[in-house]
Amino acid sequence: MSQPIEKAASVHAGMEAAASPASSPLRRVVVSLLGDRLALIGTIVVGILVVVAVLAPVLAPQNPYDLAQLDIMDGRLAPGEQGISGMTYLLGTDDQGRDLFSAILYGLRTSILVGLASAAIALAIGTSIGLLSAYAGGRADAVLMRIVDIQLSFPAILIALIFLAILGQGVDKIIIALVVTQWAYYARTVRGSALVESKRAYTDAARSLALSDRRIIFRHILPNCVPPLIVVATMRVAYAIMLEATLSFLGIGLPVTEPSLGLLISNGFEYLLSGDYWISFFPGITLLLLIVGINLIGDALRDILNPRREG
């Protein structure tokens, strides 16, 4: 007896005490995000990495992609050593004499670009398909969702490998491969929340006001599906970056002349046991910080945007 009573009691008390102050949703999210210590750390880390990546051409002492600036004689210098040209390599060099600090900055640029671009395109495609599926219902919905099921039942890395094998190397190719592996997650998420929203009375109200389907989908249903979408997108950006690093590590992502973080790690891998740890170590740490930072933000967002918390 006591259990159901207490449960009901807390529900009641929650209702009575829920006095929601008026503020814009975005502002509330930002305030809660910065109020959470872990999320704050994540935001700072990711913020610094993004700024550094954007400013890479200014910050980097060397253009790691310009082969003319590299000197093979400077190969595999330890952190802090001075090269032939008199330049001090803060984080050492790789086997081609590339300044690792510069390479990491440029690699970060590529990683973030690939992650964001593939996430954005996959988000656009997945959201459209998810909305269409939810709103059309019936056979169209069944067909689209079975395609999603099939897609999700294959390991992402396998699909990416097949696509890259067909398409060849390059930033654009890897973005395409990542989009192909990612859109289904967005489609599934959006369809779920769009189904819920389209059953709510305000959608009925919009329909009885004779608004067009397009208007109902994009102005009424979509904005209310955004919270779960943000959470999934954050997590998926991290996943895309990691997948790109994995593919590059396997040597099928980006060309050797334009190393991303994964390729840098791969380059240093064979020297790891001979004591030249830094070639893999520093890019690895950078990748780790980026992924953990994004995941911390994603976790916090998931808690903040949880509809049960919104009340």
Partner 1 sequence: MTAPILSISGLTTAFKVDSEWRDVVRDVSFSIAARETVAVVGESGSGKSVTAMSIMRLLGPNARSTGNIEFEGHDLLSLPAKEMQAIRGNRIGMIFQEPMTSLNPVLKIGDQITEVLMQHKGLNHTAAMTEAARLLDKVRIPSAKARLNEYPMSFSGGMRQRVVIAIALACEPRLLIADEPTTALDVTIQAQILELIKTLQREEGMSVLFITHDMGVVAEISDRTVVMYRGEVVETDTTKHIFRDAAHPYTRALLSAVPQLGSMIGEPRPLRFPIVDMATGEVQPVPRTADTVRMDAEPILKVDKLVTRFPVRKGILRRTVGNIHAVEDVSFALRAGETLSLVGESGCGKSTTGRSIIRLTDMTSGTVEIGGRNVARAGKGELADIRRNAQMIFQDPYESLNPRIRIGDAIAEPMIAHGLLNGAQARQRVGSLLEQVGLSPSMADRFPHEFSGGQRQRVCIARALALDPKLIVADEAVSALDVSIKAQVINLMLDLQEQLGLGYLFISHDMAVVERISHRVAVMYMGEIVEIGPRHAVFENPAHAYTRKLMAAVPIADPERRRVRHISNDEIRSPYHNAGYLPSEHFYREVGEQHFVLVDSLETAA
What b/e sequence results for 16-55 when a residue is b if at least 16 CB atoms lie within 10 Å of its CB, and e otherwise?
eeeeeeeeeeeeebeebbeebeebeebbebbeebbebbee
Shortest distance in whole angstroms from residue 7 CB to partner 1? 8
User: Which of 67, 82, 85, 219 forms a contact with partner 1 (CB under 8 A)?
Assistant: 219
- 269 forms part of the interface with partner 1 (CB under 8 A): no
C-alpha neighbours within 13 Å on the C-beta side of residue 77: 26
- 26 forms part of the interface with partner 1 (CB under 8 A): no
How many chain residues bind partner 1 (CB under 8 A)?
A: 35
Cα distances from 181 to residues 166, 219, 266, 284, in angstroms, run 15, 28, 23, 24
With CA atoms as reference, report the closest residue to 170 among 261, 64, 255.
Answer: 255
- 306 forms part of the interface with partner 1 (CB under 8 A): no
Rounded to 5°, angle at Cα 207 from 201 and 210:
150
Query: Nearer Cβ to partner 1, position 3 or 153?
Result: 3
- 211 forms part of the interface with partner 1 (CB under 8 A): yes
**223 Cβ contact list (under 8 Å, min separation 6):** none
- 224 forms part of the interface with partner 1 (CB under 8 A): yes
Shortest distance in whole angstroms from residue 153 CB to partner 1? 21
Q: Which stretch binds partner 1 (CB under 8 A): 9-17, 54-62, 100-108, 163-171?
A: 9-17
Query: Nearer Cβ to partner 1, position 14 or 155?
Result: 14
**199 Cβ contact list (under 8 Å, min separation 6):** none
User: Which of 68, 72, 210, 273 forms a contact with partner 1 (CB under 8 A)?
Assistant: 210
User: Which of 12, 73, 88, 288 forms a contact with partner 1 (CB under 8 A)?
Assistant: 12
Positions touching partner 1 (CB under 8 A) are: 1-10, 12-13, 16-17, 19-20, 22, 25, 200-202, 204-212, 215, 219-220, 223-224
